[in-house]
């Protein structure tokens, strides 16, 4: 009995030591990952001279702290409008993308028809075309549709995306076909099966698609610049460019604005992180 | 009577509204530069109540260029835009001949360096312009060099000690404008005057390349801005950089606690120095005559003596007109500022612009590649120039 207790103690000790090492490593990695964010926060409270100093540990803390960088940055460009637009566009394109991706992904994952593989290949092939190459034809198309300088130009083209379709297809593929067979025997039709049975099973995937889409839309810059001319239609990344000039960058104000810009995305991540991590783990995306 | 007065008022307002012209002005001026431009346009509005200028920041030069390419292709360009010479050559047909719309006094006021013709047409007016000057450390270089020989003597004397972080000079491989300046100072050019022949690898070109290669042995070679190296405490005796970077270089020196001053470039056969920065152009497609005239008015306003001097004082760019540069406002401003005076003298003495060739953008990409090879000493200057000449010849 005594022998077993000693063995158990050794096991627990070893396990504890192992966990300690793992947590120490995780802490180091977490600090490294957090460094750019902390540096952004630190720079947002400095003046330009402090911001340009070599980042020694002593230089991490702003001394003195320039809190007025935040109101100055906020007032340098119409950020209230930019924030609203970023939020509105991120939400609408995310909802649209999820709505269009679900049926498309399901069809490509579960329904057998001639040319399915070719269609999927064709869709994936579009991911290899650099976005910049499509800008001029897209601009011409948007103009001919009469969408230039409207929300339509910023929303409609982004309400469907190959990435979302592909990701959800991988999730739908993990659902056993027997589930559909059972549902069919019980008299369930396809649409009801998709939305009542299959979709809840791929919730982590949907959360992942939604988060990627939201962040992508939130960070959209070039498309917004090309397709709009009105301040009232522009987004936060456009506002951030205000602090970057050909002769140099106003780092403190840029970092103050960037700190404000990441707040909504951080909030979203806090709420969706469990689903998001599950989604990433299940698809192997990095 | 009251009814008549109301009708008259409505008519007057109506006529006013009809006479109102709105134009779009695409630019890439962020931060303090954007604020100053907005101030000037506000002043323009005050002086010209019949014209509304929609000043639209396009996020930066790269985004502005992409947007202009797309807009010209779609036939939907703005009325007025900032642009580099090598963009201008891409869509000459879309541009208005400014000499037909700018007043004589404006046309006559350009510094000769900015009298640029594209295929014989005057389609741009200078706007935000800077020039290459010499930044030097007075503690390491007590008397700034005035000739190539003096420059080389100083650079060699300071030498290169990577361990101590000391360099005679610094070059940025992505900035071939320094090589073009040396090339021009030696009397050389990329192409012959009629563009029929590549001349970059002739005797004068070789002289410039060999000089640069000799300097590079004692130089810090870094793609980042030299101000980044200065603020890290690296000691650089002298370096050639744009006058527009003045504030950043000085701030970096202040951070590092070292002195830094500005002087005109050392000269060789001549004192040439490459001008950088953009011009203004007016677009013809989808614009009414009234809009084109309004855009020309904006250009004339920005180039007016008081405004070009104000713009230069606030932004670090240089005045681009004779009236601006020799006018009272600018002369008073630089009277007690020797560095701004040096920049002004440099512009007057030897400012030259880009080669106005339609393939200059591609040539510049080649120049960047070979300038880096030259600086890194990966081949002899002659071999580098000969290879570059072959590639330029293929696209000219």
Predicted local distance difference test score (pLDDT) of residue A3:
67
CB B70 to CB A226 under 8 A? yes
Q: Does B129 touch chain A (CB under 8 A)?
A: no
On whether residue B18 sits in a domain, the answer given is yes
Task: Say what percent of chain B tops pLDDT 90.
Answer: 72
Residues A10 and A106 grouped into a single domain = no
Query: Does B228 score more than 60 pLDDT?
Result: yes
Do residues B283 and B372 share a domain?
no
CA B283 to chain centre: 21
Does residue B213 form part of some domain? yes
- What is the pLDDT at residue B14? 42
Min Cα–Cα distance to chain A from B244, Å: 6
Both A36 and A122 in one domain: the answer is no
Instruction: Note whether B7 and B110 are same-domain residues.
Output: yes
Residues B214 and B358 placed together within one structural domain of the fold: yes
In a domain, A37, yes or no: yes
A24 and A127 belong to one structural domain: no
Structure confidence by residue, pLDDT tens digits, A177-217: 999 999 999 899 999 999 999 999 999 899 889 989 998 99
B313, B326: one domain? yes
Q: State the pLDDT at residue B17.
A: 46
Average pLDDT for B13-19:
49
In-domain check, residue A67: no
Q: Do B30 and A243 touch (CB under 8 A)?
A: yes
**How far is residue A152's CA from residue A254's CA, in Å, rounded to a whole number?**
29
| Residue pLDDT, tens place only, A106-130 | 999 999 999 999 999 999 999 888 8
For chain A, how big is the Rg over CA atoms in Å?
25
> Domain check: are A162 and A38 in the same one?
no
Q: Within a domain: residue A179?
A: yes
Rounded-to-integer distance, Cα B253 and Cα B226, Å: 11
Asked if B252 and B366 sit in the same domain, the reply is: yes
Does residue A22 sit within a domain?
Answer: yes
Q: Is residue B235 part of a domain?
A: yes
Query: Based on the domain organization, do A39 and A77 belong to the same domain?
Result: no
Q: Are residues B254 and B285 in the same domain?
A: no
The tens digit of pLDDT for each residue in B87-138 reads 998 899 999 999 999 999 999 999 998 988 998 999 999 999 999 999 999 9
Among B35, B37, B60, B232, the residue to mutate for chain A (most A Cβ within 10 A): B60
Q: Please tell me the distance from the alpha carbon of residue B326 to that of residue A32, in angstroms, as a whole number.
A: 55
Closest Cβ opposite residue B255 in set A52, A148, A241? A52
Which tokens belong to B190?
Answer: 């990329």
Cα separation, B312 vs B314, whole angstroms: 5
Residue B345 located in a structural domain: no
> Is A59 among the domain residues?
no
- pLDDT number for residue B6: 41
3-state secondary structure A114-131: CCHHHHHHHHHHHHHCCH
Q: Based on the domain organization, do A25 and A80 belong to the same domain?
A: no
Count Cβ–Cβ pairs < 8 Å, chain A vs chain B. 93
Element at B352 (helix H, strand E): strand B351-352
Is residue B189 predicted with pLDDT exceeding 80? yes
Q: Specify the pairing of strand B166-171 against strand B219-221.
A: parallel
Same domain membership, residue A124 and residue A14: no
Interface test with B, best of A82, A227, A247, A257 (most B CBs within 10 A): A247
Q: Could you tell me the pLDDT band of residue A248, with boundaries at 50, 70 and 90?
A: low
Predicted confidence at residue A158, as pLDDT, reads 94
Q: How many domains does chain A have?
A: 2
Q: What is the pLDDT at residue B224?
A: 82
pLDDT tens-place string over residues A25-49: 999 999 999 999 999 999 999 887 7
> Is A188 found in the same domain as A91?
yes
Angle at B119 between CA B292 and CA B388, to 5 degrees: 125
Segment 156-175 of chain A within 8 Å of chain B by CB: none
Furthest-apart CA atoms within chain B: distance in Å = 91
**Per-residue pLDDT, A279:** 64
Q: Tell me, yes or no, whether B91 lies in a domain.
A: yes
Using CA atoms, how far apart are residues A281 and B72, in angstroms rounded to an integer?
Answer: 46
Beta bridge partners of B276: B130
Cis peptide before B147 (omega within 30 of 0): no
CATH number (domain holding residue B179) = 3.40.190.10
- Whether B389 and B292 share a structural domain: no
For residue A173, pLDDT over 70 is answered with: yes
A136 and A32 within one domain: no
- B 29-58 residues inside an 8 A Cβ radius of A: 29-35, 54, 56-58
Which of B73, B78, B247 is facing A140, going by the closest CB pair? B73
In whole angstroms, what is the distance from residue A242 CA to residue A272 CA? 31
Q: To the nearest whole angstrom, how far is the Cα of A222 from the nearest Cα of chain B?
A: 7
**Are both B330 and B224 inside the same structural domain?**
no
Whether B277 and B128 have beta carbons less than 8 Å apart is answered as yes
Strand pairing partners for B51? B21
Q: CB–CB of A52 and B231 under 8 A?
A: yes
Q: What percent of chain B has pLDDT over 70?
A: 95
| Binary contact (A245, B30; C-beta < 8 A) | yes
Q: What percent of the residues of chain B are helix, what percent strand, and what percent coil, each to the nearest 5?
A: 50, 20, 30
Is A282's pLDDT higher than 70? no
Contacts of B21 (CB under 8 A, 6+ apart): B50, B51, B52, B288, B290, B291, B293, B294
Q: Are B235 and B167 in contact (CB under 8 A)?
A: yes
Residue A7 lies in a domain: yes
Contact A54 B232 (CB under 8 A): yes
B237 and B261 part of one domain: yes
Buried b (16+ CB within 10 A) or exposed e, A29-67: eeeeeeeeeeebbbbbbbebebbbeeeeeeeeebeeebe
Tokens standing for residue A160: 């469907």
Q: In this model, does residue B239 exceed pLDDT 70?
A: yes
Q: Is residue B348 part of a domain?
A: no
Question: How far is the C-alpha of A73 from the C-alpha of B289, rounded, in Å?
Answer: 39
Compute the distance between CA of residue A282 and CA of residue A267 in angstroms, rounded to an integer. Answer: 23
Q: Number of folded domains in chain B?
A: 2
**Would the pLDDT of B18 be above 80?**
no
A265/chain B closest Cα distance in angstroms: 22
Tokens describing residue A257 = 């604005």
Check residue A54 and give its pLDDT.
67
Retrieve residue A277's tokens: 């991590």
Looking at residue B11, what is its pLDDT?
43
**Could you give the CA distance from residue A131 to residue A127 in angstroms, rounded to a whole number?**
9
By the CB < 8 Å criterion, does B17 face chain A?
no
pLDDT confidence of A265, banded at 50, 70, 90? confident
Cβ count within 10 A of residue B165: 13
Please tell me the distance in Å from B153's CA to the nearest CA on chain A: 30
Residues of chain A neighbouring B61 (CB-CB closer than 8 A): 246
Cβ <8 Å between B251 and A49: yes
Same domain, A135 and A182: yes
Confidence of residue B251 (pLDDT cuts 50, 70, 90): confident
The rounded mean pLDDT for chain B is 91
Over residues B335-378, the pLDDT tens digits come to 989 889 989 998 998 899 889 888 888 899 899 999 999 999 98
pLDDT category of residue A12 using cuts at 50, 70 and 90: confident
Range of the domain at A143: 73-283
Question: Any CB–CB contact under 8 A between B165 and chain A?
Answer: no
- State the smallest CA–CA distance between residue A260 and chain B in angstroms: 18
Contacts B24 to A, Cβ<8 Å = 229
> Whole-model pTM above 0.90?
no
Phi then psi for residue A31, to 5 deg, are -65, -45
Contact B63 A135 (CB under 8 A): no
Domain enclosing residue B330, as ranges: 2-128+276-339
Q: Which of A57-61, A74-78, B15-19, B171-175 has the lowest mean pLDDT?
A: B15-19
Q: What is the pLDDT of residues B42-82, one digit of tens each?
A: 999 999 999 999 999 998 888 899 899 989 988 889 999 99
Task: Tell me the nearest-neighbour CA distance from B389 into chain A, angstroms.
Answer: 30
Domain assignment present for B344: no
What does pLDDT average to over chain A?
A: 87
Asked if B379 contacts B201 with a C-beta cutoff of 8 angstroms, the reply is no
Residue A32 lies in a domain: yes
**ipTM for this model:** 0.70
Is A132 in CB contact (< 8 Å) with chain B?
A: yes
- Rounded distance, CA B128 to CA B316, Å? 9
* Contact of A265 with A214, CB cutoff 8 Å: yes
Q: Does pLDDT of B41 surpass 90?
A: yes
CATH number of domain containing A190? 1.10.3720.10
Q: What average pLDDT score do residues B282-304 get?
A: 96
Residue numbers in A near B80 (CB within 8 A): none
**Same domain, yes or no, for A18 and A92?**
no
Q: At B64, list the tokens.
A: 């502005």
Question: Mean pLDDT lowest for which of A140-149, A273-282, B369-378?
Answer: A273-282
From B300, B316, B339, give the residue that closes a domain: B339
Cβ–Cβ contact B22 with A under 8 A: no
- Determine whether the interchain pair B255/A49 forms a contact, defined as Cβ–Cβ distance below 8 Å: yes
* pLDDT of amino acid A229: 87
Tell whether A255 is covered by a domain: yes
DSSP chain A: -HHHHHHHHHHHHHHHHHHHHHHHHHHHHHHHHHHHHHHHHHHTTS-HHHHTS---GGGGS-SS--TTHHHHHHHHTTHHHHHHHHHHHHHHHHHHHHHHHHHHHHHHHH---TTHHHHHHHHHHGGGS-HHHHHHHHHHHHHHTT-TTSHHHHHGGGS--HHHHHHHHHHHHTS-HHHHHHHHHTT--HHHHIIIIIHHHTHHHHHHHHHHHHHHHHT--HHHHHH---GGG--HHHHHGGGEETTEE-HHHHHHHHHHHHHHHHHHHHHHHHHHHHHHHHHT--
């Amino acid at each position: 009995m005594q022998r077993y207790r000693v063995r158990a103690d050794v096991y627990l000790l070893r396990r504890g030591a192992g966990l300690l090492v793992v947590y120490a490593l995780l802490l180091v990695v977490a600090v490294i990952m957090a460094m750019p964010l902390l540096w952004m926060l630190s720079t947002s409270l400095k003046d330009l001279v402090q911001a340009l100093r070599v980042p020694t540990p002593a230089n991490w803390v702003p001394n003195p702290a320039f809190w007025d960088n935040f109101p100055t940055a906020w007032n340098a460009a119409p950020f209230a409008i930019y924030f609203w637009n970023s939020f509105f566009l991120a939400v609408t394109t995310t909802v649209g993308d999820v709505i269009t991706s679900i049926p498309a992904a399901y069809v490509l994952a579960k329904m057998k028809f001639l040319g399915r593989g070719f269609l999927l290949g064709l869709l994936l092939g579009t991911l290899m075309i650099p976005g910049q190459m499509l800008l001029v034809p897209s601009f011409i198309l948007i103009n001919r549709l009469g969408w230039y300088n409207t929300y339509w130009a910023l929303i409609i083209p982004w309400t469907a995306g190959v990435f979302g379709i592909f990701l959800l297809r991988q999730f739908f593929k993990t659902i056993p076909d027997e589930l559909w067979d059972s549902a069919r025997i019980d008299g369930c039709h396809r649409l009801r099966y998709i939305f009542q049975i299959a979709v809840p099973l791929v919730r982590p995937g949907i959360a992942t698609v939604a988060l990627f889409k939201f962040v992508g839309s939130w960070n959209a810059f070039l498309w917004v610049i090309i397709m709009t001319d009105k301040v009232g239609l522009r987004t936060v990344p456009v506002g951030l460019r205000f602090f970057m000039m050909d002769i140099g960058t106003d780092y403190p104000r840029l970092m103050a604005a960037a700190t404000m810009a990441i707040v909504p995305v951080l909030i979203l991540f806090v709420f969706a992180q469990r689903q998001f991590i599950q989604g990433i783990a299940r698809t192997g995306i990095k | 009577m009251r009814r008549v007065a109301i009708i008259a008022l409505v008519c007057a307002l109506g006529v006013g509204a009809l006479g109102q012209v709105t134009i779009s002005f695409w630019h890439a001026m962020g931060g303090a530069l954007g604020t100053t431009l907005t101030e000037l346009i506000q002043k323009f509005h005050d002086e010209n109540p019949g014209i509304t200028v929609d000043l639209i920041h396009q996020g930066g030069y790269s985004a502005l260029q992409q947007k202009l390419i797309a807009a010209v292709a779609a036939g939907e360009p703005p009325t007025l835009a900032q642009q580099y010479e090598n963009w201008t050559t891409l869509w000459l047909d879309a541009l208005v001949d400014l000499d037909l719309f700018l007043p004589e006094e404006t046309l006559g006021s350009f510094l000769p360096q900015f009298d640029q013709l594209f295929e014989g047409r005057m389609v741009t007016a200078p706007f935000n312009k800077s020039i290459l000057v010499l930044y030097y450390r007075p503690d390491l270089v007590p008397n700034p060099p005035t000739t190539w020989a003096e420059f080389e003597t100083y650079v060699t004397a300071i030498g290169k000690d990577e361990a101590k972080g000391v360099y005679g000079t610094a070059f940025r491989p992505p900035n071939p404008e320094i090589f073009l300046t040396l090339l021009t100072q030696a009397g050389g050019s990329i192409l012959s005057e009629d563009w029929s022949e590549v001349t970059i690898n002739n005797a004068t070109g070789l002289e410039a390349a060999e000089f640069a290669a000799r300097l590079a042995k004692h130089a810090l070679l870094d793609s980042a801005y030299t101000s980044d190296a200065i603020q890290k405490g690296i000691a650089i005796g002298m370096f050639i950089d744009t006058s527009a970077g003045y504030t950043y270089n000085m701030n970096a020196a202040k951070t590092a606690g070292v002195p830094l001053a500005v002087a005109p470039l050392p000269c060789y056969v001549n004192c040439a120095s490459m001008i950088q920065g953009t011009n203004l152009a007016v677009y013809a497609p989808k614009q009414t005559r009234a809009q084109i005239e309004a855009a020309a008015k904006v250009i004339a306003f920005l180039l007016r003596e008081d405004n070009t001097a104000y713009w230069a004082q606030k932004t670090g760019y240089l005045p681009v007109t004779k009236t601006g540069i020799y006018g009272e406002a600018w002369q008073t401003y630089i009277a007690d500022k020797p560095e701004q005076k040096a920049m002004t003298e440099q512009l007057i003495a030897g400012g030259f612009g880009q080669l106005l060739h339609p393939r200059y953008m591609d040539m510049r990409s080649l120049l960047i590649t070979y300038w880096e090879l030259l600086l890194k000493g990966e081949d002899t200057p002659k071999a580098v120039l000969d290879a570059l000449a072959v590639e330029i010849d293929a696209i000219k």
